[in-house]
């Protein structure tokens, strides 16, 4: 039994924070942000909207797209590092709110790689026959842990949610290969402070790691299924920085129009980044039946993950 993505959905808050808005908050410029990151604007959730609210809306959209009822879900996996509170988990809150009465639930904390870890966890439950429908969500309200006085980080992040329903698909379709990794020695380069709960990042070190790991992992998952870079039809990289994304695209030789660039409109949304970009590209009709799609991400930890999948049910 093969596991694949049978439905996608996403949600972004209404409030738009542009680079010109950022110029009024910290000492930066629209040109500096665009040329170094590719980001033009990001979405910010209101004070009365928390992580579980973002996740709920994306989940509803994904379930509708998959034509799966909440009561038919066997498990809910939520990737996030900005939960509403330490417990109950966001997935547990969603289980009740969606009416997914028979679903088990748990959260996954692997920062920007979280959705990849959730996706591969779902794959195991489906392919071993334990579960049939698993909802995987990547969601963050990063605005609540952002230091709005740190110009090196506050310009990068935004709030969003992306979701995918994972279920059985035909032979030859779905998730064909994956790679997950972890390097705890990189923890000091990207972390949440114990004292103030704010996000801290050593941009130079994270950049060096990402421009090496993203292209390497992308190529690895393609080679695992006996194919080459030329066989990749679409690339969905973690939407962190256009220069890092370009490194992966050029290594795979994928044309510019075949790579998702949601980073322009939403910034880095951590766990939500890949499912948000995937959902947008699917809705726009850019990903076609039988396309070989590579998803690849990296995040705090440091962690990373990549997937090669054949699109379709």
Write the Ramachandran bin of 4: left for phi over 0, alpha for psi from -120 to 50, otherwise beta. beta
Is 96 catalytic? The answer is no
Query: What single DSSP character describes residue 230?
Result: G
Which is catalytic among the residues 10, 19, 61, 238?
A: 238
CB of 190 closer than 8 Å to CB of 300: yes
Contacts of 68 (CB under 8 A, 6+ apart): 6, 7, 133, 165, 167
Catalytic residue among 10, 19, 112, 154: 112
* Identified catalytic residue from 19, 92, 133, 268: 268
Catalytic, 268? Answer yes
Question: Could you please report the per-residue DSSP string of 242-302?
Answer: HHHHHHHHHHHT--GGGB--THHHH-B-GGGHHHHHHHHHHHTT-S-TT-EEEEEEEETTT
Concerning whether 154 is annotated as a catalytic residue, the answer is: no
**Residue recorded with tokens 């009024």:** 24
Query: 173 in helix, strand or coil?
Result: coil
Catalytic residues: 112, 238, 268
């Amino acid at each position: 039994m093969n596991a694949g993505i049978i439905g996608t959905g996403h949600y972004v808050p209404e409030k738009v924070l542009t680079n010109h808005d950022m110029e009024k908050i910290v000492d930066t410029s629209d040109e500096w942000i665009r040329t170094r990151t590719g980001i033009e604007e990001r979405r910010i959730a209101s004070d009365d909207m928390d992580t579980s609210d973002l996740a709920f809306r994306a989940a509803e959209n994904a379930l509708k797209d998959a034509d799966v009822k909440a009561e038919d879900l066997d498990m809910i996996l939520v990737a996030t590092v900005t939960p509403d509170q330490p417990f109950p988990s966001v997935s547990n809150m969603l289980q009740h709110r969606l009416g997914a009465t028979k679903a088990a639930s748990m959260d996954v904390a692997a920062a920007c790689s979280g959705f990849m870890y959730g996706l591969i966890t779902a794959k195991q439950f489906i392919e071993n026959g334990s579960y049939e429908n698993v909802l995987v969500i990547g969601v963050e309200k990063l605005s609540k842990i952002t230091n709005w006085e740190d110009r090196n980080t506050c310009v990068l992040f935004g709030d969003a949610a992306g979701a995918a329903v994972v279920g059985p698909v035909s032979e030859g379709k779905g998730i064909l290969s994956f790679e997950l990794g972890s390097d705890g020695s990189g923890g000091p380069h990207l972390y949440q402070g114990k004292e103030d709960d704010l996000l801290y990042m050593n941009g130079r070190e994270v950049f060096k790691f990402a421009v090496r790991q993203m292209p390497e992992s992308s190529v690895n998952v393609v080679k695992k299924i006996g194919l080459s870079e030329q066989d990749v039809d679409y690339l969905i990289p973690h939407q962190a920085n256009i220069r890092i994304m370009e490194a992966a695209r050029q290594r795979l030789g994928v044309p510019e129009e075949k790579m998702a660039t949601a980073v322009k409109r939403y910034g880095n949304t951590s766990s939500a980044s890949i499912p948000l970009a995937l959902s947008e590209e699917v809705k726009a009709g850019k990903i076609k039946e039988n396309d070989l799609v590579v998803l690849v991400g990296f995040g705090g930890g440091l962690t990373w993950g990549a997937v090669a999948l054949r699109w379709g049910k």
